[in-house]
Amino acid sequence: MAQSWDLIIWTNENSPDVVPSSWAINEDRSLYVWPVNVKKSKILSMISNCIPPSSKHNYEELPAKHKKTITSLQRAEKYLKRLEVTSSVETENNDEENNAVCTTAGIIQHCSQRQVARNALHHQDTDEVLSNPQLQTPSDPQHRDTNEKICQIENQLKKLYEFMVGLELHVIEIKNDIKTMKNFIDRSTPILQDYPANEKWNLPLPITSLNEFEEGENLLPNLQTDLVKMLSLVGGNTFRHTISNMIKKLLSRDVALRFSGTGKKGKKNFSDSKYFPVLTEAARKINPLATDQEIKKLVGLILAGAGDWNGNYSRKKTNEQLSVDNIVEL
């Protein structure tokens, strides 16, 4: 069975396309099938190989306007490009006068034929008026030069047309890429969209004294949203690492040593301070499923290890080793 493709315009999307003729499901070719849940590369292969519908895939029925049936895929793709730019298809009728001249090359060809006809009539009239054959100049060389120039112009315009078609497709791809990147940015920055710009936390961080700690509590909860924003932007390899970086962003080592998660060992209870709700909200920006108990437990563990911040544990071990060495020498 001979292969053929239909050049159509999808009614819903108002976009041109080329599909196998076997995909039409009614006689007037106003309804076509389209495979669903199939990879784009597979669909392109089905179209290129003119594969008819089968039970291997599911299809949906879509309305379309049939423009032309073509037996060559290469010609079909050529007509598709022309339809994308001009919204019309040039017919193959030999009567050029009755055809709609759609492309730039077609306009040049149409005009050149009319010009050749006018030149022929002009020379015919000249032959009738001039009685002396010696006064008549041969017209063929002039016609030949004119036709060559017209052909050169046609070729240049064809190349320009093909370049513009390719450029249009490239612009469409760029627009799609920009849209994809914009959607990605919108999804990736929800944290930065919900904070008022007129409320700013103006105390330096980390807090280095209990006086600064109390001064900051007096600003809460009015400036809580801005402080949450600052802490939620701190990263980490794990959730615990992120909480640790948040606390180090908020408190210096000396202040952290004065607190514990629940106020044990004679230390102040950090969970009773106004900073704990701030830390909890910032932590949930990173892990929305984290519970208060989980966050409180992590805060307690991190504060308990505050003595080892800033490499203090390494210095402590070094000093202990030096003391042991001195004792051995004595």
The answer to whether position 302 is within a domain reads yes
Quote the Cα angle for 112-109-103, to 5°: 140
- What is the Cβ-side half-sphere exposure of residue 221, based on CA atoms within 13 angstroms? 7
The answer to whether position 328 is within a domain reads no
The domain in which residue 40 lies consists of 5-84
Structure confidence by residue, pLDDT tens digits, 82-136: 887 776 655 444 333 334 334 444 444 444 444 444 444 444 444 444 444 444 4
Residue 80 sits in the same domain as residue 119: no
Examine the fold and report which residue of 174, 194, 223 is the final residue of a domain before the chain moves on: 174
**Would you say 110 and 90 are in contact if contact means Cβ atoms under 8 Å apart?**
no
Residue range 129-151: mean pLDDT, rounded: 57
Residue 73 sits in the same domain as residue 127: no
pLDDT at 196 over 70: no
Residue range 317-327: mean pLDDT, rounded: 50
Structure confidence by residue, pLDDT tens digits, 12-39: 988 899 999 999 999 999 999 999 999 9
pLDDT of residue 297: 93
The answer to whether position 100 is within a domain reads no
pLDDT of residue 88: 62
Q: Give percent of the chain with pLDDT exceeding 90.
A: 44
Nearest to 35 by CA among 61, 64, 7, 66: 61
The answer to whether position 298 is within a domain reads yes
The answer to whether position 130 is within a domain reads yes
Q: Look at 145 and 2; give whichever has higher pLDDT.
A: 2
Q: Say how many domains are in the chain.
A: 3
Examine the fold and report which residue of 21, 49, 84 is the final residue of a domain before the chain moves on: 84
pLDDT of residue 125: 43
Residue 227 sits in the same domain as residue 302: yes
The answer to whether position 200 is within a domain reads no
pLDDT of residue 235: 84
DSSP assigned state of 209:
S
Q: How far apart are the first and last CA of the chain?
A: 105
Mean pLDDT score of the chain, rounded to an integer?
A: 78
Structure confidence by residue, pLDDT tens digits, 238-274: 999 999 999 999 999 999 999 998 888 889 999 999 9
pLDDT at 187 over 90: no
Structure tokens at 54: 């089968």
What is the C-alpha to C-alpha distance for residues 290 and 131, in angstroms, rounded to an integer? 107
The answer to whether position 244 is within a domain reads yes
Instruction: For residue 151, name the pLDDT band (cuts at 50, 70, 90).
Output: confident
Residue 74 sits in the same domain as residue 162: no
Residue 153 sits in the same domain as residue 218: no
Instruction: For residue 190, name the pLDDT band (cuts at 50, 70, 90).
Output: low
Residue 250 sits in the same domain as residue 282: yes
The answer to whether position 68 is within a domain reads yes
**Would you say 64 and 30 are in contact if contact means Cβ atoms under 8 Å apart?**
yes
Residue 226 sits in the same domain as residue 302: yes
